Amino acid sequence: MKINMNMQRNLYKIGFVLITLLTGLFANNKAIAQKKDMLIRISEIEIYPEHLTAYKVILQEEAEASMKLEAGVVAIFPMYQKEDSTQIRIVEIYNGNKAYQSHLKTPHFLKYKTMTLKMVKALKLIDMDAIDPASMKLIFRKLKN
């Protein structure tokens, strides 16, 4: 009977250790999944020259609203090529697909999309991956100092 009690206690202990390990692993996997989940994109957009000035204003407004109002928008950084300013490039980073899907439904994005539809000559959305996800952290840490 005494041996059985000891065995039972040991089984409880083993069970506890296993649960702790599994919980740790699960939490860790979730963290990795969240990191992997980050949605990174370069949008390559060509604008008809006659619409360029108007387009830039609308894009700037949309980027600003997204950054200010959406927690899931990590960064929207609109640029244009110095040699050909009709060539727009936007680096976009969303905190996962859910954040991106909700971005698509915001009034500021819908306004941008409808207002610029006829200004866009060509559009390519290129999904990217960070070579080192930690590099983004490095940038963030640096900018914090």
With respect to its own copies, which residue has the nearer C-beta, 76 or 119?
76
Cα–Cα distance measured from residue 34 to residue 30, given in angstroms and rounded to the nearest whole number: 6
> Please, what is the angle between helix 107-116 and helix 52-69, to 10°?
170
Q: How far apart are CA 145 and CA 135, in angstroms?
A: 16
Choice between 5 and 127, CB closer to its own copies = 127
Q: Enumerate binding residues for its own copies (CB under 8 A).
A: 40, 42, 56, 59-60, 63-64, 67-68, 74-83, 85, 88-89, 91, 126-132, 135-136, 138-140, 142-144
Q: How far is the CB of 77 from its own copies (least distance, A)?
A: 6
Mark residue 96 as left, alpha or beta (left: phi above 0; alpha: psi -120 to 50; beta: remaining). Answer: left
Task: Give the shortest CB-28-to-its own copies separation in angstroms.
Answer: 22
CB of 75 to its own copies, least distance (A): 5
